[in-house]
Amino acid sequence: MDPRLNGFGKILLAAALWSTIGLASVYSGNYVVLALFRSLVAALTGLAFTRTANRAAIVAGLLLGVLFAVYPLAAALAGLGPAAYLLYTAPLWTTAISAALGERTGSRDYAAVALVTAAVAVMLLEALGGALSLWGVLAGLASGLSYGSYIAVARFYSKRGEDVDVSLGAMPYTLAVTAPAAFAYAAIFGVGDLRRPLLVGLYLGVFCTVLPYRLFSSGTRVVGATKASVVATLEPVLAAIWGYLFLGQTPSLATALSYALITAAAILAALG
């Protein structure tokens, strides 16, 4: 097989696996405990390969912990499509934080920020009008903020040769966010049935964290980061499709417009 086709296939498979996070989260029935189990699987995987306690790993792990905690909540409250697309508001936060860390930003970056800002405004208007859950939209924005912050931090430390620290080395520190949240939830609402969150957490840890990141990394080495990032924008499209097929979630015209704006922003950010 042509290595480039193989590379694109790996990236497409990674995007497809990531797109199932929201659907799996909804089926888990307990989003807070689910985040803990996902963190545990990711942490054990990370510890099998590396052990580090430097600032890069801790900061990256805390940001990923927030992402693990708030994204399932966004999917449950706002719907799979809005949650996935709000996650892709990350370029807005990545550009802002990268600029604060001293990175140069170009016109395409600012154009992406403008498109994301417009999309967020549309979704907030939809939420205020009752078409979307306001809390769901806010949780989606929090997931985009945590993911964008993680990307900026990972870039910053990777340039210093700490790329393993901000990936596998960061996974154990996600527990610093997900464990207290799960214990607080259990103390207030009770433990409940742990079987489904445990099974879904195992699925997310293996098939939506470890495996797709490995596939994406391997495919990117063949096709290049720009093409890989553009192909990965298939993820929110598929998530919206799963929401329609399995949960009957149909976006309004305004929400669909916000999808298009965020997709354009993600592609512009990748090209930049």
| Domain edges within the chain | 3-271
Q: What is the mean pLDDT of residues 242-252?
A: 92
| pLDDT value of residue 155 | 78
| pLDDT value of residue 253 | 92
Q: Does 256 score more than 80 pLDDT?
A: yes
| Number of Cβ atoms within 10 Å of the Cβ of 53 | 10
Q: Please tell me what DSSP assigns to residue 173.
A: G
C-alpha dihedral, 49 to 50 to 56 to 58, nearest 10°: 90
Residues in the chain: 272
**pLDDT tier for residue 226 given thresholds of 50, 70 and 90:** low
| pLDDT value of residue 272 | 60
Q: Does 142 score more than 90 pLDDT?
A: yes
Token code pair at residue 108: 């395409």
**pLDDT tier for residue 63 given thresholds of 50, 70 and 90:** very high
Mean pLDDT of the chain: 86
Report the alpha-carbon distance of residue 146 to residue 97 in Å, rounded: 11
Q: Does 1 score more than 70 pLDDT?
A: no
**Alpha-carbon 256 to chain mean position:** 20
Report the alpha-carbon distance of residue 124 to residue 116 in Å, rounded: 12
How far are the Cα atoms of 65, 85, 177, 234 from residue 98, in angstroms, in the given order?
Answer: 20, 21, 24, 25
| pLDDT value of residue 2 | 66
Q: Does 230 score more than 90 pLDDT?
A: no
| pLDDT value of residue 222 | 76
Stronger pLDDT, 267 or 227, i.e. the higher one: 267
**pLDDT tier for residue 136 given thresholds of 50, 70 and 90:** very high
The single-letter code of the amino acid at 269 is: A
Q: What is the tens place of the pLDDT at every residue in 155-207?
A: 788 778 887 888 888 899 999 999 999 999 888 888 778 889 899 989 998 89
**pLDDT tier for residue 217 given thresholds of 50, 70 and 90:** confident
Q: Does 225 score more than 70 pLDDT?
A: no
119 exposure class (CB count in 10 Å sphere: 0-12, 13-18, 19+): buried
Under 8 Å between Cβ of 233 and 19: no
Token code pair at residue 121: 């405004």
Under 8 Å between Cβ of 253 and 260: no
